[in-house]
């Protein structure tokens, strides 16, 4: 039995244990207070001091909502071709990103990366670069390289999609059940066979789900690619905004939502058919 005032098998004094716990609680409280203070300072500098509060009013908010709520339905027939262009751009960008992302995901998964830490770090670096740079910046780079048109927008969305798809797929590969992998290796399967027959069937749902989600995101990205001359709904929205046509902007938003809804329905049936 431990002596009085002593806890644990190592005979640590109870007063010391209480002091350590008290110090840990104080450090945790101090860290939380510091984060809260930093948040308050950021809100004050960014929101309170940089906002023209004289222009903020309920009446002004209601007027803005009223302007955008008047959807210009007469514009819908003219949006069919731009909507098709946007869907094609988003689809090609997503597929291009997937083609580039899957090998990077293979290199970036710790349990299957072929050359250990070297290929792992290279793949993770590519994922970080892809996610860190905004799609508009990628689009500007590709416009400078290949000129105006849908191509720079497609390339920008493809490169931007690499980071998300490859990271989530790599994490799914790392979380696969080891049983099928070990069974394939036990019968003499090579690395490619293990990847194709033991790992890929387990991550197919993740891949399809991420492709659908990224396609939804790329639909929204494609709508702003008009700012760099990529065409589609983005170019129409830019023109409506330049003309202060609030109803036209709302019409473009409605068509964009309809595109995403169609994509959700198609993806639901595709998942049921493939999985």
Residues 116 and 35 in one domain: no
Q: Which residue in this structure is represented by tokens 């098709």?
A: 84
Residue range of the domain that includes 99: 78-274
Task: Give the residue-averaged pLDDT of 230-257.
Answer: 83
Task: Give the residue-averaged pLDDT of 31-54.
Answer: 85
pTM to 2 decimal places:
0.70
Q: What is the pLDDT of residue 72?
A: 82
Indicate whether 1 belongs to any domain: no
Total structural domains in the chain? 2
Residues 185 and 143 in one domain: yes
Q: What is the pLDDT of residue 143?
A: 83
Task: Give the residue-averaged pLDDT of 97-115.
Answer: 86
Across 161-165, 244-248, 266-270, which has the greatest mean pLDDT? 161-165
Task: Give the residue-averaged pLDDT of 74-85.
Answer: 86
Q: How far apart are CA 111 and CA 109, in angstroms?
A: 6
Task: Give the residue-averaged pLDDT of 122-128.
Answer: 90
At 239-249, the pLDDT tens digits run 888 888 888 88
Indicate whether 63 belongs to any domain: no
Indicate whether 179 belongs to any domain: yes
* Domain containing residue 95: CATH number: 1.10.3720.10
Indicate whether 142 belongs to any domain: yes
At 206-225, the pLDDT tens digits run 888 888 888 878 887 887 77
Q: What is the pLDDT of residue 179?
A: 83
Indicate whether 100 belongs to any domain: yes
Mean of per-residue pLDDT scores for the chain: 82
Indicate whether 249 belongs to any domain: yes
Map the chain to HEC letters.
Answer: CCCCCEECCCCEEHHHHHHHHHHHHHHHHHHHHHHHHHHHHHHHHHHHCCCCHHHCCHHHHHHHHHHHHCCCHHHHHHHHHHHHHHHHHHHHHHHHHHHHHHHHHHHCCCCCCCCCHHHHHHHHHHHHHHHHCCHHHHHHHHHHHHCCCHHHHHHHHHHHHHHHHHHHHHHHHHCCCHHHHHHHHHCCCCHHHHHHHHHHHHHHHHHHHHHHHHHHHHHHHHHHHHHHCCCHHHHHHHHHHHCCCHHHHHHHHHHHHHHHHHHHHHHHHHHHHHC
Give me Rg for the CA atoms of the chain.
27
Q: What is the pLDDT of residue 30?
A: 92
Residues 125 and 187 in one domain: yes
At 166-181, the pLDDT tens digits run 998 888 888 888 888 8
Residues 141 and 14 in one domain: no
Indicate whether 215 belongs to any domain: yes
Beta-bridged to residue 12, according to DSSP, are 7
Across 124-138, 179-193, 255-269, which has the greatest mean pLDDT? 124-138
What percentage of the chain reaches a pLDDT higher than 90?
11
Residues 44 and 126 in one domain: no
Residues 86 and 200 in one domain: yes
Q: How far apart are CA 111 and CA 169, in angstroms?
A: 13
The pLDDT-based confidence of 274 (bands split at 50, 70, 90) is low
Residues 83 and 40 in one domain: no
Q: What is the pLDDT of residue 1?
A: 46
Residues 121 and 43 in one domain: no
Beta-bridged to residue 6, according to DSSP, are 13
- Report how far Cα 49 is from the mean position of its chain's Cα atoms: 31
Task: Give the residue-averaged pLDDT of 193-209.
Answer: 82
Residue 29 scores a pLDDT above 80: yes
Residues 82 and 168 in one domain: yes
The pLDDT-based confidence of 271 (bands split at 50, 70, 90) is low
Residues 230 and 112 in one domain: yes
Residue 20 scores a pLDDT above 50: yes
Q: What is the dihedral of CA 17, 19, 25, 28, to 10 degrees?
A: -100
Pairing of strands 12-13, 6-7: antiparallel
In this predicted model, which residue has the larger pLDDT, 59 or 177?
177
The pLDDT-based confidence of 114 (bands split at 50, 70, 90) is confident
Q: What is the pLDDT of residue 10?
A: 53
Residues 42 and 123 in one domain: no
What percentage of the chain reaches a pLDDT higher than 70?
93
């Amino acid at each position: 039995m431990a002596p009085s005032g002593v806890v644990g098998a190592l005979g640590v004094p109870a007063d010391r244990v209480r002091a350590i716990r008290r110090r840990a609680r104080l450090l945790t409280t101090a860290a939380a207070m510091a984060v809260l203070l930093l948040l308050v300072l950021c809100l004050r500098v960014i929101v309170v001091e940089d906002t023209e509060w004289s222009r903020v009013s309920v009446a002004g908010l209601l007027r803005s909502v009223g302007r955008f709520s008047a959807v210009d339905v007469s514009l819908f027939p003219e949006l069919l071709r731009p909507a098709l262009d946007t869907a094609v751009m988003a689809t090609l960008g997503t597929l291009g990103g997937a083609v580039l992302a899957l090998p990077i995901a293979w290199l970036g998964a710790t349990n299957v990366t072929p050359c250990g830490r070297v290929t792992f770090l290279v793949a993770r670096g590519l994922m970080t670069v892809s996610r860190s740079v905004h799609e508009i910046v990628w689009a500007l780079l590709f416009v400078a390289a290949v000129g105006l048109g849908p191509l720079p927008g497609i390339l920008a969305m493809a490169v931007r999609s690499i980071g998300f798809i490859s990271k989530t797929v790599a994490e799914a590969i790392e979380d696969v059940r080891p049983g099928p992998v070990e069974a394939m290796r036990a019968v003499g399967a090579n690395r490619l066979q293990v990847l194709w027959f033991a790992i890929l069937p387990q991550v197919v749902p993740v891949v399809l789900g991420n492709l659908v989600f990224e396609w939804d995101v790329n639909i929204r990205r494609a709508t702003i690619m008009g700012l760099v001359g990529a065409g589609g709904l983005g170019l129409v929205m830019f023109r409506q905004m330049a003309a202060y046509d609030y109803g036209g902007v709302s019409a473009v938003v409605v068509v964009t939502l309809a595109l995403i809804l169609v994509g959700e329905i198609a993806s639901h049936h595709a998942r049921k058919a493939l999985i």
